[in-house]
Amino acid sequence: MIRKCFLCNSDAIERIFSTTWPLPGLSTTEIGFSVCPDCGSVCQSPSVNFDEMMTFYSSMAVYTNPGRQENPSDAKVRDLDEQIQFIKRGIGHLPSSALQIGSSDGYTLSRFRDAGVERVLGVEPSSASVELAKRLYQIDCIDSSAEDFQTDERFELLLLTHVLEHLYQPQEILAKCRKIQSNIDEGFIYIEVPLMTNPDSLCPGFFSFEHINYYTKENLLQSLKLAGYSPVSLIEHFNSNLSPIIGVLASTKKQNNYVCFRADVEGNRRILKDYHSKEINYWQGCLDVVMSKLQQSKRIFLWGAGIHTCQLVANTNLLEYCKVDGLTDTSSLKWGLKQGEWICQDPASINWQEGDTVLISSYASEKEIFNALSWLRDKGVETLKLHSIDNIRAR
Ligand SMILES: [Zn+2]
């Protein structure tokens, strides 16, 4: 599907690169990244359509991590400490009510409640997450999507952290937010998204499948202004999480804090091009390190039905030089899913033999996965980390 620009609606967006992705549970699809010649915004296009994306999400359970006994990560705790202080400082007081769109497991809202926000409510499309928020933190959520939810309540603060980059029509959702805050004296919105910036600051996989809109500081501020918000203050981090992030607090009352928007079409085109050549070199370089071991193995299994396996196949010559015998994953949601030529299998159902090799394609969870595979190494199976990074940055 070819998209229009998510910010200015231009239908003449320019494709910078695209590759063929063997998507889990979907047909193999051309996925690319494009720049808008009018406003410079970068989006994923071509992409899958909305229904296909929902099919993907339902098979992936990407936003709950059972590995941490349902506790928030240290990074998440730290991020919330800062977010609450930043918002309080920007507004001048703690807001009395908060609605979070995309409230996930409820941890964020529980922190705002514990800080003293009297009324908190979530909107969350995953029923499993809605139940989790109730059970873990006694947080109420509307079980619905950003597109479909309805409320007559008014909220002083709206929170959308890591939501806009996933939405097919982010400006419509921001307009809906503005409407929810139309009858109050002053409303605030806090938006946080991955920050598209210098390609050297972007991790492999930054231009990803789930993220269909990309924000620079300039077009994020512009997106808020177009929706009727006026930016109060912003925060940027480059080294603290896997991707750079930007957070903006904006008001329904006019502010005069930031200069007017200037489209940087050429700059953003450059970022996409530089990133793409870095990305290809990166994935191929990782594969080259393990290639001779792969070629010596009896059978090869890819570990992880998901996006990193897509990127490995899309960005390297793996399939030209190796026969891949299967795909496996510990998540039962993925068993039976077709990805490319393979059907994802339960690792316990595979008749592992000495001389088999497992290649772990995950970036963020590589070490966790590797450590959990000693049972395979005991059987004489080689377990290879593709990235071999000591990942100190938090998710
Ligand atoms: Zn545009």
Q: What is the DSSP string of 31-68?
A: EEEEE-TTT--EEE-S---HHHHHHHHHHH-TT--GGG
Structure confidence at residue 300 (pLDDT): 97
- CATH number for 291-385 (one of 3.40.50.720, 1.10.2020.10, 3.40.50.300, 3.40.640.10): it is 3.40.50.720
> pLDDT tens digit string along 97-135?
999 999 999 999 999 999 999 999 999 998 889 999 999
Structure confidence at residue 259 (pLDDT): 85
Is the CB of residue 42 less than 8 Å from the CB of residue 272? Answer: yes
User: Separation of 41 CA from ligand 1 center, angstroms?
Assistant: 5
The answer for residues whose C-beta is within 8 angstroms of residue 244's C-beta and 6 or more apart is 194, 195, 197, 201, 202, 236, 237, 238
**For residue 68, is pLDDT > 80?**
no
Using alpha carbons only, what angle is made at residue 345 by residues 166 and 296, rounded to the nearest 5 degrees? 105
User: Separation of 222 CA from ligand 1 center, angstroms?
Assistant: 11
User: Separation of 266 CA from ligand 1 center, angstroms?
Assistant: 13
How far apart (Å, rounded) are the C-alpha atoms in residues 180 and 78? 29
User: Separation of 7 CA from ligand 1 center, angstroms?
Assistant: 5
Q: Which CATH class is domain 66-260?
A: alpha beta
> pLDDT tens digit string along 158-174?
999 999 999 999 999 99
Minimal CA–CA distance to 352: which of 312, 322, 379, 319? 379
Structure confidence at residue 390 (pLDDT): 59
pLDDT-wise least confident of 196-205, 228-237, 311-320? 196-205
> pLDDT tens digit string along 208-219?
899 999 999 999
Other C-beta atoms closer than 10 Å to the C-beta of 132 total: 21
**For residue 362, is pLDDT > 70?**
yes
Structure confidence at residue 61 (pLDDT): 59
Query: For all residues of the chain together, what is the average pLDDT?
Result: 93
User: Separation of 265 CA from ligand 1 center, angstroms?
Assistant: 9
User: Separation of 268 CA from ligand 1 center, angstroms?
Assistant: 12
Domain ranges across the chain: 66-260, 291-385
Do 66-260 and 291-385 fold alike per CATH?
Answer: yes
Looking at residue 162, its amino acid is H
Q: What is the dihedral of CA 185, 99, 163, 114, to 10 degrees?
A: 120
Structure confidence at residue 394 (pLDDT): 42
How far apart (Å, rounded) are the C-alpha atoms in residues 49 and 146? 17
Structure confidence at residue 241 (pLDDT): 83
**For residue 62, is pLDDT > 80?**
no
User: Separation of 348 CA from ligand 1 center, angstroms?
Assistant: 49
**For residue 395, is pLDDT > 70?**
no
**For residue 347, is pLDDT > 50?**
yes
User: Separation of 282 CA from ligand 1 center, angstroms?
Assistant: 30
Strand arrangement, sheet containing 157-161: 141-142, 119-123, 97-101, 157-161, 188-194, 245-251, 230-237
**For residue 392, is pLDDT > 50?**
no
**For residue 155, is pLDDT > 80?**
yes
User: Separation of 11 CA from ligand 1 center, angstroms?
Assistant: 8
User: Separation of 160 CA from ligand 1 center, angstroms?
Assistant: 22
Q: What is the mean pLDDT of residues 370-387?
A: 95
Structure confidence at residue 316 (pLDDT): 94
User: Separation of 313 CA from ligand 1 center, angstroms?
Assistant: 31
